[in-house]
A and B are shown apart, each in its own frame.
Chain A
Amino acid sequence: MALSSDPQGSIRPLSAGNVVSAGLRLYSSHFSQYFGVAMVATLWILLPILLLALLVGFFVVVRDYDGLLGLLVPAWIVLLLYCSGKYLAGSAAISRLAYGELIHHPESARDANRYTQSRLWGFVAIGLLLGLLYTAVALGFYFVVAVVAIALLIALGGFAALQGGSFEQALANDPLVAASLVLLVLAVIVCAILLFSWISARVAVAELPLAIESEIGASRSIGRSWELTQKHAWRIVLILFITFLITLPLQILAQIISSLLQAVLTVTIPPDSALFTGVTLLISYIIGLASGVFLLPLWQAIKAVIYYDLRSRREGLDLQLRDRPSESI
C-alpha cells in the first residue's frame, strides 16, 4: 500500500478530501478489526454506569448503610477514571493500527492494544488536561465577551439608559438597533465556533504521539499535536468537518431507529409514566453508544491519517531513501 506515493508515483502530501477518503478506506478495509477494539473499549465505559445504577438502586431500596458512601464514591470515581482510560487506550489502539498500515508496519490488534493499554493513565491524563484546556478557553472567552458587553453598555450610556426605557423604545422603533443587536450576537456565536474549531484542530491528534511514539508523556503528547498542527489548523478543521458530514447518514439512521422505537413504545407503555421516560432514555443512550461504536474507528482512522500527513508535511516522514526501514513507529 502506498499512501505517500500518489497514483502518479510522485510524493506529495494529501489534500483535505483525500485525508478523509484515505481514513474511510482504512476503516472499511479493516472494519472487523477496528470494530472489535471499539466494541471492547465502549463496553468499558458502560461498566461504571451500570455499577452506578446498581448502587443507586441498592440505596434507594435499602435506605441504610449511608456510611458506606464515603468509601464508595471515591472508589467509584477511581473506577470511572480507570474505565475511561481503558476506553481511551482502546481508541488510541485503533489509531495505532491505522498508522501502522500507513507506514507499512501493520500490527495485530492484540499488540496495538497491549502497547496503548500499558500507557492507560497517560491517556487519562491527556483527557483531563484537554478538559482543563477547553474549560480555560471557555472561561476566557466568556470573560472577553463579558468585558466587551460591559464596555458597549457603558459606551451606550450605562444602566440608566436601560432603566429609562429609552433602550427598549429604541429597540422597538429603530430596526437598526435590533439588527445590530442580532448581528452582535451572531458575531459572538461565529467567534465561539471559530475559536473552538481552531482549538480542536490544534489538539486533534493529541493522543496519537502517546500511542505511537516512544518515550513520550501526556503533556508532551499534547505539545506534539500543537506543534504538528501549526499552520495547518484550518485544513484540519476542514477535514473534521468533512468527516462529520460523512457520518451524517449514520447519525440520521440512528435517529430514525430511535424515533421508530419510541413510536413503538408509545403504543405499549403509557407515554406519561416514569417507566416510559426511563425506557426512552435508556434506548437513546444505547443507540448513542451503538452508533459510537461504529463511528469511533472512523474518527480514529482519520486522525491517524491526519497525524501521518502532518508528520510527512512537517517532518518529512515519507521521505525515506530506498530499502531503509522507517525510523520509528
Chain B
Amino acid sequence: MSLFKQIKVLTPESVELEFTLAGIGSRALALVIDYQLLAVSLILFWILWDFFTRRLLELLDTLDVNYSQVPIWLAAIAFLVTYILYTGYFVYFEVVWQGQTPGKRFAKIRVIRDNGTPVGLASATLRSLLRPLDDLIFIGAFLIFWGRQEKRLGDLIAGTLVIQEERPTVQTALTVSDAATALATELPQLTELSRLQPDDFAIVSEFLRRRPSMSAQGRAKLSRKLADEIQQILRLEQLPDGATADLFLEAVYLAYQNNFPTY
C-alpha cells in the first residue's frame, strides 16, 4: 500500500509523466488559507463599499433628485462584485500562477490538466464555478476521499488534477569541516569506496543535510550507527585516527562525491 496516490498522465507529446496526487490534507489546508484571504478581501471590499455608499447618498441628498432606486442598485453591484471576487480569486491565481493559489502555494500543491499541461482560463473557471456545489454538504471532500484520482466535481468536469508540487532538488551545499576534507583525500587509499552503493551514499548525504535540525541525542546516536555500518561496508578495521563518527561520515561523503561525481 502506498500512502500517496500516484497517477500517470500522457502529455500531448506522448510523454508519460508520473505525479503524486495532492491528498486531502494538503487540499484542506490550501482551501482554508484561500478562504481566509478571500474573507479578508471581501470584508475590506464591503467596508469600502459601505463608506462609498454613505458618501454617495449624502451627496445625492444635497442634490434634490429622486434617488430611491440607487440603494438597490448599489446593493446589487456589491453582490455582483462579491461573487466575482469569490470566483475570480481562484481563476485569477490558478491561471496566473500556473495552477496555484496562495493557499495551494503554501500547501505545495498545484492544479494541472488531465494531460499534464498547465491549467487554462476555461478549466480554472469551470473549477471555480463548481466550487460552491462541492462545498455544499462536503460533496467535494467525499469525492476526493473516495475517488481514485481525488477529483471533486469541479475537477471531474474541468478535466483537472491536483498534484503535489515537484520540488526542484536544490542541493544545498553541506558544511564540512577541514579535517573531513583532509581525511577524504586519504580514504581512497584505505579502502575500496565502490563497496558503498549509491543508496548508502544517499543516506549519508541526507543525514549530513538534515543533522542540523536533529536533536543532539538522536543525531549522535544515528551518526554512530551509520558510521559503524559504513565502516563495516567499507571493511575498515577501525575508524581512521582521531576521526569521530560525524567526521568520518563527512569524509566518506566527500570522498565518494569526488570519486563518483555523477552522484
Contacts and interface: CB of A to CB of B under 8 A. Distances in A.
Q: Do A and B bind each other?
A: yes
Interface of A: 1-3, 6-8, 10-11, 15-26, 28-29, 101, 227-228, 230-231, 238, 242, 245-246, 248-249, 252, 311, 313-316, 319-322, 324, 327
Given A315-B215, A315-B221, A321-B229, A7 B28 contact: no
B32 interface: yes
Nearest to B233: A321
Given A7-B164, A227-B215, A246 B210 contact: no
Interface in B191-247: 197, 199-200, 202-203, 206-207, 210-211, 213-215, 217-219, 221-222, 225-226, 229-230, 233
Residue of A3, A230, A315, A316 ringed by the most chain B CB atoms within 10 A: A316
B28 A20 contact: yes
A227 B216 CA distance: 11
A242 B213 CA distance: 24
B230 A321 contact: yes
Contacts of A17: 22-23, 25-30, 107-109
Given A19-B25, A313-B210, A320-B203, A3 B3 contact: yes
Contacts of A228: 215
Residue of A18, A20, A228 ringed by the most chain B CB atoms within 10 A: A18
Given A20-B25, A242-B28, A246-B141, A316 B222 contact: yes
Contacts, number: 137
A196 to B, nearest CB: 20
B206 A238 contact: no
A238 B197 CA distance: 38
A324 B32 contact: no
Nearest to A101: B1
22 contacts: A7-B6, A11-B202, A11-B203, A11-B206, A19-B25, A21-B22, A22-B25, A25-B4, A230-B215, A231-B213, A242-B28, A252-B138, A314-B213, A314-B214, A316-B207, A316-B214, A316-B222, A319-B203, A319-B222, A322-B197, A322-B199, A322-B200
Given A17-B26, A22-B4, 4 more contacts: A11-B202, A17-B30, A20-B23, A227-B215
A245 B26 CA distance: 12
Nearest to A302: B25
Residue of B20, B22, B25 ringed by the most chain A CB atoms within 10 A: B25
Contact of B25 (A26, A246, A314): A246
B29 A8 contact: no
B18 interface: yes
Contacts of B200: 321-322
Interface in B163-206: 164, 166, 169, 197, 199-200, 202-203, 206
A14 B138 CA distance: 26
Contacts of B2: 1-2
B67 interface: no
A321 B214 contact: no
B230 A8 contact: no
B145 interface: yes
B215 A20 contact: no
Contacts of B138: 248-249, 252
A51 B138 CA distance: 39
Contacts of B24: 20-21, 24, 246
A16 B29 contact: yes
Given A7-B6, A316-B207, A21 B222 contact: no
B142 interface: yes
A246 B28 contact: yes
A7 B108 contact: no
A29 B214 CA distance: 31
B226 A15 contact: no
Given A18-B26, A319-B222, A314 B215 contact: yes
Given A319-B203, A322-B199, A18 B25 contact: yes
A327 B225 contact: yes
B26 A15 contact: yes
A173 to B, nearest CB: 23
Interface string B1-43: 1111010000000000011101111111110100000000000
Given A18-B26, A316-B207, A319-B207, A26 B107 contact: no
